[in-house]
Each structure stands twice: as structure tokens, then as C-alpha cells.
Amino acid sequence: MNEFKSIFKNELAEYLAISQGTISDGTLQNTRRILLSFDSLLAEENTGEISERTVNRWIGRLLQTNAPKTVSDKVSYLRKFLRYLQYEGYSVFMPDCPKTSDSYVPYIFSDEEIQMLLASADSWGSRHTDPQTRQMDMEFCMLLRMLLGCGFRLGEPLAARVKDINFSRGTILIRHAKNNKQRVVPMDVTLTRMLEKYCIAMAIKTEPESHLFPSVRKKGAAVTKGTFGLRFRKLLQQTNLCVPGKAHSRGQCLHCFRHYFAIHSFVQAEKKGRPVNDSVPFLSVYLGHHDMNETEKYLKFSSDMFPEYTELFEDYAVSVFMEVGDEEK
């Protein structure tokens, strides 16, 4: 395990020790990685002070390899440590969080593109004779429909086990979602039936501890995000739907299906006459968000797609979603 090496190594270690138990394990790991990066620069400069020059040099290095939003997040982690040093009586330079505009607009597949992707993925199974490859084809096709039908984060169905599925009620229990949350997700009747047939075909329905998407290479493990991500990129190339991405941009990926689900859920609710003030809060809970501010980014779409709903949502967002200032989120 990497250790702190600068003059502030004791203070850094003490800060992490104090933080342990008050933040999640994931946040603690991120904090450690970011502070190790800053510590490395302090050790390199062999300085006993945290000056404006040193901090700006560290931020400059971050900007060379990270997106502006990522840099802002990392600076917010450093600010918390610097506040701790100030509390301990040290005089340190406190940087502002670099301002970023959340201009990210996800790629939203059209209904026609979704049908192309599903049809092409379904055709793979008929072309492959290798049992392991056919199993992967079956798992991949089921995963696509679960992401489209429930708006899951990719890791959620991959972590699920057969025991988490209630076929009679049509629900799936997500045990370890983001921020260590749990939630029960209702599924459409059609999707529930398809999932049940899938489990029978995979011979896992009577195996409660089996992963819903078991790995063909590693017994007792689930398929990895990377494996399905690679298959999705091949699917995009095969269907000629691959759009070149920009640097530091997520681009087309399986996470786009979560955006597709959120936007279409919003649109369908409006078409059925449900007030937006009712539909968005329910959508936020369904997606497992901490609050509706998290849901906002999933309801960003080009006005060319749904021009009749753009103004409606913008009017709603102005009164609900708070503006974020320079302080860390």
C-alpha cells in the first residue's frame, strides 16, 4: 500500500483516520488516491508549506489528464483536507473549486436505433455454436432489455443474484446500489416473464445464490462491466451506429440506456396526462437517486428530439433544481 511521504505525511494519515467511519469506503478510497497525488507533489518539492504556487501546480497537472468536472471534484476533496489543516492551526492556501458548466448532453438512442441494436444482438446467438459464446449472447441480450426496461446502472443487475428476483411480484432487489443504498425495483410484466424464461434457459432459476449474469470463465463470479462494455462497442460497430466520442466524454455506452429510460419515462407520463410535478419525484426514487438534483442530468435531451416537452421540463426545473455554487457538492 502506498504511504504518504511528504512533510505533511502524519497530518494526511490522521485526516484519513478521522474520516474513516464518517464517509463511505468508496469515498475514503477516492480521498486517499487524491491526497496521495497531492502528497507526491509536496514530497517532490520538499516544501514545508502549502502555498498558492504548489496548489496551482497540482491543479495544472490535473487539467492535463482530467475533464474540468473531474478536476473540480478532486479539488473539493483537497479543500476538505486543507480545512482540517486550518483547524489544526496551519496557514495554507485555500483554492477555489474550478468553475464548470454542466454542458454534458448524453447520446440518446432513437427508438429505431434501439430496435436495430436489439435485433442485431439477438441474431448473434443463431450464428455461434460455441456453448460459452452462446451463453454470453443470451446474457447480453437479457442485460440490454433490463437496462432499457428499468434504467439500471450497469453494476446493479450484474451484482444481482437469482434470490433477489420475485417473479410473482415482478420485482428485483438491488442490494448494493450507489452510496450503499438498497431499493426494490418493479419490472414490467413482459420483462418479468422474459427474465423468468431466461433463468430457466440458463438453468439458474433454482439456484438462489447464482449471479443473474454468471461468468462463463470464472466460476462463482459475475460477468464484468468491461466484458459487456466491449460487446456493446462491437454491437455499435456492427450496426453502423458508432459515433466518435470526444476527449473526457463518456460517449455511447450502456449507461446511455439509463438516460433513454429516464427521458422516455418522463415523456410517457406526460402523454398519459400525469403532471410533471408528480412524475419526476417518482422517477427520482425509482432510479435510486439521493434527490431530484441527481435526476436533472438524466432529463437533458436535445430539443430536436422532444420539442414539445423541452419548455415544459425547463419551466419545472427552474423552480425545483438548485443552482450549484463554487463550494463542493
| pLDDT value of residue 313 | 55
Measured between alpha carbons, how far is 186 from 286 in angstroms, rounded to an integer? 9
Using the predicted structure, report yes or no on whether residue 227 has a pLDDT greater than 50. Answer: yes
- Structural contact between residues 243 and 251, judged by C-beta atoms closer than 8 angstroms: yes
Instruction: Please report, as a single letter, which amino acid is at residue 70.
Output: T
Dig out the grid coordinates for 297 from the structure.
Answer: 442530468
Q: What proportion of the chain, given as a percentage, has pLDDT over 70?
A: 81
Dig out the grid coordinates for 206 from the structure.
Answer: 433454482
Q: DSSP secondary-structure letter at 183? A: E
The order of strands in the sheet holding 165-166 is 165-166, 171-174, 183-186
Of 194 and 96, more confident: 194
Measured between alpha carbons, how far is 76 from 85 in angstroms, rounded to an integer? 14
Give this prediction's pTM.
0.63
Strand, helix or coil at 254?
coil
pLDDT band at 14 (very low <50, low <70, confident <90, very high): very high
Strand (E) positions, the chain? 165-166, 171-174, 183-186
pLDDT band at 329 (very low <50, low <70, confident <90, very high): very low
Mean of all residue pLDDT scores within the chain:
83
| pLDDT value of residue 246 | 58
Percentages of the chain per state (helix, strand, coil), in multiples of 5: 60, 5, 35
- Structural contact between residues 221 and 215, judged by C-beta atoms closer than 8 angstroms: yes
| pLDDT value of residue 240 | 93
Span 292-301, pLDDT tens digits: 566 666 666 5
